[in-house]
């Protein structure tokens, strides 16, 4: 018997069970195999079950009658269909489900990594000890938990591949290769020489992760090499596609997945810019999904995976198709129940010494503390529901990571990693509420969703009453946070008594997001008398700037405009008080004036003027094409494939069609629509400076433009 210990790196089906790669403690990377049976279930009318039994009896390992629990229907008699391995599951299920659509099917499409974790206790990225005969695993023992706060660092070997330019802007010519201390460039042509060099690097360094820019959508689409660590497997390629989600069309680019090692395209990875590789690994660790899957999927897929894993562990069936619909309601009941979070309109204007206090992960905390789940409704006396069981360890881990960060010196080398991991967990917690009411979620129910928002409104009103009883003025409330002000309260410690009292009375943790030197609550652009709840900016006492709802936060703002707006904010943030910030308004106006001068002189790089917008439909379906659709038409005429949901980059130009699309080739800087960009800049500057006095800003801006 051979024994190994290390981290489980990759897992996939083979002819007799599963294959997985272990990153061993001694530095070896070994592939091992293991027998692994899988089971799915059918329920329904006895006659239909008998027909399915006859259809399956010579195709599977075992058919048995069992009693299992459906989360919505309760205990059911089901037919358990056991296979000797996962390899043929999907084909067999497609056949039998097509023959017997009247039956209810369960546990039919659960990811292999979740089945493995539920049966063995070992999840991907988890440490384990294995006893083997040859390369065949006979016993596997987990050595850690996904919920460990400080797991042992994974000793990954990372190979980075980066193109010299964005393929959407120009044709790449060179490829940068980096691993350990080596860094060099390769010419993309001739392709054969490039492929020989890359294969040589793969053999020499044997990376666990290939980290690329545009690897999914460009580089590996051009190359013919097989970068797998397992040479017997072909690269898994998934085509680009569009789909509709939460009221918008989303485009997902082509994907290239490897076997035995990972490939992550930073440009095609969901939220990679928010939390980086550390965050991706953290989400994969707690969700049970593979790293390559988790990097490219939304956090909602992670929450679904966690709920599936919980269901497997507690013996609850996972429906293939959700059958439950919303319970009937009268109009009065619907009006009373179908409400969102509490919003208290802000007091428009500039305010000094304001504290922002936030309920920590409010909606997940409500689900956990009040046991809100599809099968429990809002009944605290019931045993813990599936959703709270899934969320509790996630919520506790995220709060523990936040406490660790706050206890460390900001310059501590561990802070960056802890913040990335905390941010990744935050995104999982953010989407769990939406999935509770999502119509297609396996374990969603709109009544549970409504119960959460009802509790949130009650808790926020309690916090408001407590604040006002203690002498604070509530300037604004937004779903899970309050902005409060009180004479004499200037520092973080001055608000501790308030925080403690709110937490004591509500039972939900609450924290101080920060104390603002000054904060501006902005009005609607169409009517200055109407406040906008989530449109504000301010400066904390430590100089950090926070902003919501302004151009800096919009994805379609050109980088140049966003950069100037941020420079204006940073200029005003130098003031230690509101009075000092007002004195800096002329300097902020000068920044805007210089930016206008740079634009007129043609010194703003084309890349800084690119606007990115998402297509909501096919290009030809627009009756009055917006700029992004016109840019898409230009690309289609040049032979590019454009799909709904795809993000198009373009520059506003003079004449028709009024845009130049990124990827069209040479760009003539003389065609830039200077007036259009000037207007965009003025609008962004006004978002910041008008609150300090719009007439004052307009006058100063005119004078400064004349002098520059």
DSSP sequence for 465-503: HHHHHTT-EEEEEETTEEEEE-TT--SGGGGHHHHHHHH
Considering the domain architecture, whether residues 58 and 90 belong to the same structural domain is answered as yes
Considering the domain architecture, whether residues 349 and 486 belong to the same structural domain is answered as yes
Domain boundary, last residue among 142, 167, 191: 142
For range 636-640, the mean pLDDT: 88
pLDDT of residue 694: 46
We report the CATH number of the domain holding residue 119 as 3.30.342
Indicate whether 606 belongs to any domain: no
Instruction: Give yes or no for a contact between 172 and 186, defined as CB atoms under 8 angstroms apart.
Output: no
Considering the domain architecture, whether residues 494 and 528 belong to the same structural domain is answered as yes
What whole-number percentage of the chain has pLDDT above 70?
96
Considering the domain architecture, whether residues 183 and 270 belong to the same structural domain is answered as yes
- Please, which pLDDT band fits residue 158 given cuts at 50, 70 and 90? very high
- Whole-angstrom distance, CA of residue 572 vs CA of residue 565: 11
Compare 441 and 94 and report the one with higher pLDDT.
94
Indicate whether 421 belongs to any domain: no
We report the CATH number of the domain holding residue 210 as 3.30.420.10
Mean pLDDT of the chain: 92
pLDDT for 377-415, tens place per residue?
A: 656 656 889 999 999 999 999 999 999 998 999 899 999
Indicate whether 381 belongs to any domain: no
Domain boundary, last residue among 508, 528, 549: 549
Considering the domain architecture, whether residues 348 and 482 belong to the same structural domain is answered as yes
Contact residues for 691 (Cβ-Cβ < 8 A; gap 6+): 349, 350, 520, 522
For range 264-270, the mean pLDDT: 94
pLDDT for 542-559, tens place per residue?
A: 999 999 999 999 999 999
Indicate whether 598 belongs to any domain: no
691, pLDDT greater than 70: yes
For range 311-340, the mean pLDDT: 81
Indicate whether 311 belongs to any domain: no
**Total Cβ atoms within 10 A of residue 355:** 27
- Whole-angstrom distance, CA of residue 647 vs CA of residue 613: 5
Considering the domain architecture, whether residues 473 and 349 belong to the same structural domain is answered as yes
pLDDT of residue 698: 45
pLDDT of residue 380: 61
- Please, which pLDDT band fits residue 285 given cuts at 50, 70 and 90? very high
pTM, two decimal places: 0.89
pLDDT of residue 378: 55
We report the CATH number of the domain holding residue 470 as 3.90.1600.10
Indicate whether 636 belongs to any domain: no
Indicate whether 113 belongs to any domain: yes
pLDDT of residue 333: 73
Domain boundary, last residue among 142, 166, 186: 142
Considering the domain architecture, whether residues 102 and 126 belong to the same structural domain is answered as yes
pLDDT of residue 526: 87
pLDDT of residue 381: 56
- Please, which pLDDT band fits residue 708 given cuts at 50, 70 and 90? very low
Compare 641 and 223 and report the one with higher pLDDT.
223
CA atoms lying within 13 Å on the CB side of residue 194: 20
- Strand duo 545-548 + 377-378: pairing: unpaired
Domain, as residue range, for 489: 341-363+445-549
For range 91-110, the mean pLDDT: 96
116, pLDDT greater than 80: yes
Considering the domain architecture, whether residues 196 and 123 belong to the same structural domain is answered as no
Query: Of 62-76, 330-344, 600-614, which range is least confident?
Result: 330-344
Compare 696 and 533 and report the one with higher pLDDT.
533
Considering the domain architecture, whether residues 346 and 249 belong to the same structural domain is answered as no
Q: How many domains does the chain have?
A: 3
Indicate whether 15 belongs to any domain: yes
Considering the domain architecture, whether residues 533 and 508 belong to the same structural domain is answered as yes
Considering the domain architecture, whether residues 539 and 473 belong to the same structural domain is answered as yes
Considering the domain architecture, whether residues 286 and 200 belong to the same structural domain is answered as yes
């Amino acid at each position: 018997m051979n024994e190994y210990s290390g981290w489980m790196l990759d897992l996939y089906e083979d002819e007799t069970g599963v294959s997985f790669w272990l990153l061993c403690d001694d530095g070896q990377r070994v592939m091992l195999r293991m027998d692994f049976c899988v089971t799915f279930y059918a329920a329904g009318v006895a006659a239909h079950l008998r027909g399915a039994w006859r259809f399956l009896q010579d195709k599977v390992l075992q058919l048995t009658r069992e009693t299992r629990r459906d989360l919505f229907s309760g205990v059911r008699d089901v037919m358990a269909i056991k296979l000797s391995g996962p390899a043929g599951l999907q084909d067999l299920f497609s056949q039998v489900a097509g023959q017997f659509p009247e039956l209810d099917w369960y546990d039919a499409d659960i990811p292999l990594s979740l089945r493995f974790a539920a049966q063995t206790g070992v999840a991907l990225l988890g440490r384990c000890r294995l006893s083997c005969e040859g390369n065949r695993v006979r016993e596997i023992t987990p050595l850690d938990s996904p919920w460990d706060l400080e797991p042992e660092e994974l000793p990954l070997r990372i190979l980075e591949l980066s193109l010299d330019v964005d393929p959407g802007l120009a044709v790449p010519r060179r490829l940068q290769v980096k691993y350990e201390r080596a860094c060099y460039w390769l010419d993309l042509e001739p392709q054969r020489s490039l492929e020989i060099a890359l294969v040589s690097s793969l053999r020499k360094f044997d990376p666990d992760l290939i980290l690329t820019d545009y690897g999914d959508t460009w580089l590996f689409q051009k190359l013919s090499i097989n970068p797998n660590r397992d040479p017997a497997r072909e690269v898994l390629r998934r085509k680009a596609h569009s789909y509709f989600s939460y009221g918008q069309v989303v485009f997902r680019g082509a994907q290239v997945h490897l076997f035995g090692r990972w490939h992550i395209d930073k440009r095609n990875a969901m939220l990679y810019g928010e939390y980086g590789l550390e965050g991706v690994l953290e989400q994969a660790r707690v969700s049970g999904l593979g790293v390559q899957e988790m990097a490219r999927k939304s956090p909602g897929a992670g929450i679904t995976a966690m709920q599936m894993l919980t269901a497997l562990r507690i013996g609850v069936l996972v429906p293939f198709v959700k059958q439950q619909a919303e319970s009937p309601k009268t109009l009065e009941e619907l009006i009373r129940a179908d409400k969102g979070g509490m919003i208290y309109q802000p007091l428009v204007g500039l305010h000094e010494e304001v504290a922002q206090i936030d309920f920590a992960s409010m909606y997940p905390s409500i689900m956990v503390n009040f046991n809100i789940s599809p099968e429990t409704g809002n009944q605290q006396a019931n045993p813990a529901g599936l959703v709270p069981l899934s969320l509790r360890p996630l919520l506790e881990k995220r709060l523990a990571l936040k406490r660790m960060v706050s206890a460390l010196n900001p310059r501590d080398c561990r802070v960056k990693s802890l913040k990335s991991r905390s941010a990744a967990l935050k995104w999982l917690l953010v989407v769990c509420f939406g999935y509770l009411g999502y119509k297609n979620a396996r374990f969603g129910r709109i009544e549970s969703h409504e119960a959460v928002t009802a509790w949130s409104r009650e808790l926020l009103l309690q916090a408001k009453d407590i604040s006002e009883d203690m002498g604070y003025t509530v300037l604004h409330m937004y779903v899970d946070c309050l902005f409060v002000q009180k004479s004499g309260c200037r520092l973080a410690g001055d608000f501790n008594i308030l925080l403690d009292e709110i937490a004591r009375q509500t039972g939900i943790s609450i924290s101080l997001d920060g104390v603002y030197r000054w904060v501006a609550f902005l009005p609607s652009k169409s009517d200055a008398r109407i406040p906008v709840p989530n449109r504000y900016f301010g400066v904390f006492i430590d100089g950090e700037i926070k902003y919501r709802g302004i151009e800096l936060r919009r994805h379609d703002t050109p980088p140049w405009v966003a950069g100037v707006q941020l420079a204006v904010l940073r200029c005003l943030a130098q003031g230690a008080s509101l009075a000092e910030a007002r004195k800096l308004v002329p300097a902020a106006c000068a920044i805007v004036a210089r930016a206008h001068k740079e634009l007129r002189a043609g010194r703003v790089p084309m890349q800084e003027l690119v606007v990115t917008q998402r297509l909501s439909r096919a290009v030809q379906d627009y009756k009055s094409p917006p700029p992004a659709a016109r840019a898409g038409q230009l690309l289609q005429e040049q032979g590019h494939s454009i799909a709904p949901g795809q993000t198009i980059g373009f520059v506003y130009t003079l004449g028709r069609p009024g845009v130049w699309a990124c990827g069209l080739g040479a760009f003539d800087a003389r065609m830039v629509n200077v007036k259009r960009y000037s207007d965009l800049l003025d609008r962004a500057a006004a978002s910041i400076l008008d609150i300090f006095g719009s007439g004052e800003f307009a006058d100063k801006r005119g004078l400064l433009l004349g002098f520059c």
